[in-house]
Chains A and B, each alone.
Chain A
């Protein structure tokens, strides 16, 4: 009896679905080909609910919940694309574009960038908020890779990939609020840090903040889908 899978039934965007207990709304939606935009979520890494792109509405609650973290409950009714959510998603993208110096046209990730793609998908044609244009550094001390903080959106995928998958935890976040910044080790140069040069952080970075020095122009597609396979193989061992 205790081994039996407990099934919950719920409604997402008018569709009646069933899910296993403990599944997140995002997992159920993805299994059923219902699209919910995400940015900090990446299959194979733990979820932090930081980007707020996957917020959904739950009937009976005024609070918006992140689909990547909220687990399903019996007869919950979820809306994934209401006008209110669209408005918040667009504002969040505007905040990101205005926060640092995102110049798509000269970016190594132009055409392969998740932020750029989300902007287009959510119908963003301009940013109403004033650009902050902070002065940020580029660390090119690593022989293979570069980090350009101007393009970082602080999704912390690199932090999680390094800590959870590679097990080194070179990356972390320093400072707070608008002054937060990604650092290697205890704010040392990337080149002299304890980095193993595995490059996982580069592959999981959604923007052009982390990139491979051997790539030029905008020729930099990223392949973060190795993570679930890697996890699967490790579990099998």
Chain B
């Protein structure tokens, strides 16, 4: 995100939005819609960016979504980080 030059929109705003969505998921306030949104956003950043930076920036997210999707879902549904990396102990907004 900090490497983006800012010329084209998908990379400039897209990587920043990816970061926002990932942060939401990691701190336990993400939803399954966010996951779907993240996936769609990654595909736009990858395919529509002007240069190689934007075109490859979503790769880590896309490959973790491919091989570790269950960990994403674990964060969203059970508010738990299987790898013990994310701090999910903070009080989480409970859906009514």
B37 within 8 A of A: yes
Task: Report the count of interface residues on B (CB-CB < 8 A).
Answer: 27
Q: Are B12 and A52 in contact (CB under 8 A)?
A: no
Within the assembled complex, what's the spacing in Å between the Cα atoms of A92 and B49? 10
Q: Using known A-B contacts A129-B37, A130-B20, determine if residue A48 contacts B7 with beta carbons closer than 8 Å.
A: yes
Partner of A130, one of B1, B15, B17: B17
A204 within 8 A of B: no
Q: Are A95 and B13 in contact (CB under 8 A)?
A: yes
Closest residue of chain B to A178, judged by CB?
B16
Q: Tell me which residues across on chain B come within 8 A of A98, comparing CB atoms.
A: 13, 17
Within the assembled complex, what's the spacing in Å between the Cα atoms of A26 and B77? 47
Closest residue of chain A to B5, judged by CB?
A176
Residues 5-22 of B contacting A (Cβ, < 8 Å): 5-10, 12-17, 20-21
Q: Are A88 and B44 in contact (CB under 8 A)?
A: yes
Q: Are B50 and A52 in contact (CB under 8 A)?
A: yes
How far is the CB of A92 from the nearest CB of chain B, in Å?
5
Within the assembled complex, what's the spacing in Å between the Cα atoms of A211 and B16? 28
Q: Are A87 and B8 in contact (CB under 8 A)?
A: no
Q: Tell me which residues across on chain A come within 8 A of B15, comparing CB atoms.
A: 177-178
Q: Tell me which residues across on chain B come within 8 A of A92, comparing CB atoms.
A: 9-10, 44, 48
Closest residue of chain B to A97, judged by CB?
B13
Q: Are B50 and A49 in contact (CB under 8 A)?
A: yes
Q: Tell me which residues across on chain A come within 8 A of B2, comparing CB atoms.
A: 176-177
Partner of B6, one of A48, A130, A132, A173: A173
Task: Report the count of interface residues on A (CB-CB < 8 A).
Answer: 30
Within the assembled complex, what's the spacing in Å between the Cα atoms of A98 and B15? 13
Residues 167-201 of A contacting B (Cβ, < 8 Å): 173, 175-180
B62 within 8 A of A: no
With a 10 A CB-CB cut-off, give which of A50, A129, A154 has the most chain B CB atoms: A129
Partner of A88, one of B3, B6, B12, B48: B48
Within the assembled complex, what's the spacing in Å between the Cα atoms of A132 and B13? 10
Within the assembled complex, what's the spacing in Å between the Cα atoms of A47 and B23? 36
Which residues of B pack against A, CB within 8 Å? 1-10, 12-17, 20-21, 33, 37, 40-41, 44, 47-50
Other 15 A-B pairs with CB < 8 A, given A91-B48, A154-B12: A50-B8, A52-B10, A52-B50, A66-B50, A88-B47, A129-B37, A129-B41, A130-B21, A132-B17, A132-B20, A177-B6, A178-B1, A178-B6, A178-B13, A180-B6
